[in-house]
Amino acid sequence: MFDSDKIFPPNPEFAKNARIKSMDEYYALMDEAKNDYEGFWKKYADEKIEWIEPYEKVLDETNAPFYKWFTNGKLNVTIQCIDRHLKDKADKTAIIFEGDRGDVQKITYETLAKEVNRFANLLKNRFDIKKGDRVVLYMPMIPQAVYAMLACARIGAIHSIVFGGFSAEALRDRIKDAKAKLVITADGAYRKSKPYLLKPVVDDALKDGIQSVEAVLVVKRNNEKIDWIEGRDHDYDELIKESSSECEPEIMDSEDPLFLLYTSGSTGKPKGVQHSQAGYILWAQMTMEWVFDIKEGDVYWCTADIGWITGHTYIVYGPLAAGTTTVLFEGVPTYPDAGRAWKMVQEHKITQFYTAPTAIRVLHKMGEDEPKKYDLSSLKVLGTVGEPIDPPAWMWYHEEVGGGRCAVVDTWWQTETGGHMISPLPGATPIKPSCATFALPGIMAEVIDKDGNPKEIGETGLLCITKPWPSMIRTIWGDHERFKKAYFSDAVKDGKAVYFSGDGAMVDKDGYITITGRVDDVINVSGHRLGTAEIEAAVAEDDKVAEVAVVGRPHPIKGESIFVFLVLKEGAVTEDIKSHINSLLSKEIGNIAKADDIVAVPGLPKTRSGKIMRRILRSIAKGEEIKQDISTLEDPSIVANIQEAVKQAV
Ligand code: WTA
């Protein structure tokens, strides 16, 4: 049986050579940061970053919360990720690409340099992409996606990757918001040995024309038949042949934007989270070293998609800045069978494996005994990210995949934080399962109330980061006010607005931090962030719908699933209405936003001022007893009626 109080100390053999070897070392680093915050960061910025010109000030707080780090420093992130490794690692494998069908390609740092430069020259010379221009990537998991990201960074263009599972509508909104000049895509790729297509989605997104977009660059992966618009569409494979493999890096300021990545918030349309150059790359590299304990000779695999922040920081920027070998996988870990991932670990001798709890639950369910069939002895550190991991999944991961000897690091962070914030250190932290444990050295994470008072032990509060950190979000693209409102308006400490994550958390008697989940209206489906507001707006497009409210409901595999409460203008909910709503969700957002439950109810629980009490709906969706006070509702009797409707339907 699982004992929730059990603590898993670090493996002593591993700890001996780890970069941070004990809690004493951890506390010493934390003290250093607390005593001299800027000095702490200066030390690492000086030691780790290959500056073209030195910075002047570590942290500029004059325009808070628009913090600036390493002001007036000059660098190029691709020097950090590629050029500086060419001195002694030119022949080292930078990327191991494994295709869905098992095709493997090993790309050395030298080849990576050439491919990125060729791509950069193509962007510059053929498409006139300049520093500060936005380029949208709608790409599968193939090496050219990485080349494209780094090519943008090489010439100072700002990439904005849109996850390949998003619909044409979602893609269009993101292209428009960023005013992108170029869209880079592929004909498609392979999933479960079958070709699928991406280019038609781009065609659809651009069908009415988007003024800013001048061209579409298409990489061929599966050579399926696609439409071609002469003059707009360009063939990467043809053009790249003529492109030179030498390209001088653009000189970038520390605070120039590196990329945008759209993510869901609790209100309105997705926000373009803007990251910077120096602070971002510094923390991406430091967390690779501390949290994954990356060492020379390691082979590291993160299964995320590059369309999410985890793919940005922990497939591309972090691993390459750390000079390691990073695995890029086109397929799904359960195909052709539930042993695929473990077979890959065996074949590539993977040392660090990083995935989402939802994937662990699927692998556990489909192939409990699969890990035993493979030699997984290369593994040293296992990681999870994106959502809370439940104890049975944690235990299976630890025992069966990690053989009981690997630390499982449950990393808490967000698109906005750029890199890990709260996580065990594999050689130091005694781990409590399903617990993100402690803030990393230099990160001031606190569980407080809105006035900055620490919460009592075991009480849930707001998870805030009370000091700026180098890899933090700089702003929301084109909307500075929304940035302030979304992140710096919920909690104040010592008279200063502090960053609020949107998550709740609690601290136990030993100081361990456990994440309790979002306290805003964001749903986390299989580790994908979706805003209830976006989902509701899509559902409301059905003209039979009078009112709608959407909540998350706990789901054994996905973590949360989408539960839609509908008030219809007339009649009962039919299979037709349900399927229309799901087609709206997949059209407006993507298949990831499809609802598991769609239930018609006689009304929604509203306060007298008209606010929908989603907390009550969450309890009803879960089938829980309602403990909240419902006397403040406009019509308290509605609760029993909704419960009855749900009971009939589910
Ligand atoms: C959730 C993903 C519990 C959390 C890197 C956060 C987690 C949101 C964990 C960010 C974790 C992430 N334990 N919950 N270890 N990691 N989350 O922006 O609610 O896609 O706010 O970034 O995922 O999701 P995002």
Please, are residues 320 and 326 in contact by the beta-carbon 8 Å criterion?
yes
Ligand 1 center to 530 CA (angstroms): 12
Q: pLDDT tens for residues 235-259? A: 999 999 999 999 999 999 999 999 9
Q: pLDDT tens for residues 512-568? A: 999 999 988 899 999 899 999 999 999 999 999 999 999 999 999 999 999 999 999
Ligand 1 center to 15 CA (angstroms): 27
Task: Give the Cα-Cα-Cα angle 184, 189, 195 (nearest 5 degrees).
Answer: 140
Alpha helices, H only, 131-216: 143-155, 168-178, 199-205
3-state secondary structure 206-225: CCCCCCCCCEEEEECCCCCC
Please, are residues 523 and 570 in contact by the beta-carbon 8 Å criterion?
no
Rounded Cα distance between 90 and 594, Å, is: 46
Please, are residues 136 and 109 in contact by the beta-carbon 8 Å criterion?
no
Q: Looking at ligand 1, which residue's alpha carbon is closest to its atom 10?
A: 414
Rounded Cα distance between 619 and 642, Å, is: 11
CATH number of the domain at 521-649, please?
3.30.300.30
Ligand 1 center to 413 CA (angstroms): 5
Does 2 score more than 60 pLDDT? no
Q: Looking at ligand 1, which residue's alpha carbon is closest to its atom 23?
A: 386
Q: Ligand 1 pocket test: which of 163, 490, 515 has the largest number of ligand atoms within 8 Å of its C-beta?
A: 515
Query: Helices 575-588 and 532-539: crossing angle, nearest 10°?
Result: 130
Q: Looking at ligand 1, which residue's alpha carbon is closest to its atom 22?
A: 414
Per-residue pLDDT at 627: 85
Q: Ligand 1 pocket test: which of 387, 447, 525 has the largest number of ligand atoms within 8 Å of its C-beta?
A: 387
Nearest alpha carbon to residue 331 among 152, 211, 462, 195: 195
Per-residue pLDDT at 3: 55
E strands of 187-284, at which residues?
188-191, 194-197, 215-219, 233-235, 252-253, 257-263, 271-276
Confidence at 4, pLDDT banded by 50, 70, 90: low
Q: pLDDT tens for residues 85-128? A: 999 999 999 999 999 999 999 999 999 999 999 999 999 999 99
- Ligand 1 atom nearest the C-alpha of 389 is 13
- Ligand 1 atom nearest the C-alpha of 529 is 20
Per-residue pLDDT at 265: 81
Compute the chain's Rg from CA coordinates: 24
DSSP string, 570-615: SS---HHHHHHHHHHHHHHTBGGG--SEEEE-S---BBTT--B-HH
Per-residue pLDDT at 1: 41
Q: Is the backbone peptide bond immediately before 336 cis, with ω within 30 degrees of 0?
A: yes
Q: Measuring from each residue's beta carbon to the nearest atom of ligand 1, which residues come in under 6 Å?
A: 263, 308-310, 385-388, 410-415, 436, 501-503, 515, 518, 524, 529
CA dihedral 589, 592, 598, 601 (to 10 degrees): -60
Q: Which two tokens stand for residue 500?
A: 């609020």
Q: 461-465 and 499-507 as β-strands: parallel, antiparallel, unpaired?
A: antiparallel
Mean pLDDT value of segment 163-179: 97
Q: Which two tokens stand for residue 73?
A: 């420093």
- Return the sign of the alpha-carbon dihedral for residues 347, 353, 358, 360: positive
Please, are residues 390 and 434 in contact by the beta-carbon 8 Å criterion?
yes
Please, are residues 107 and 94 in contact by the beta-carbon 8 Å criterion?
yes
Q: Which of helix, strand or coil describes residue 92?
A: coil
- Ligand 1 atom nearest the C-alpha of 384 is 15
DSSP string, 22-77: SHHHHHHHHHHHHH-HHHHHHHHHHHH---SB--S-SEE-TTTTS-EESTT-EE-H
Ligand 1 center to 60 CA (angstroms): 28
Residue 83 CA to its chain's centroid (Å): 26
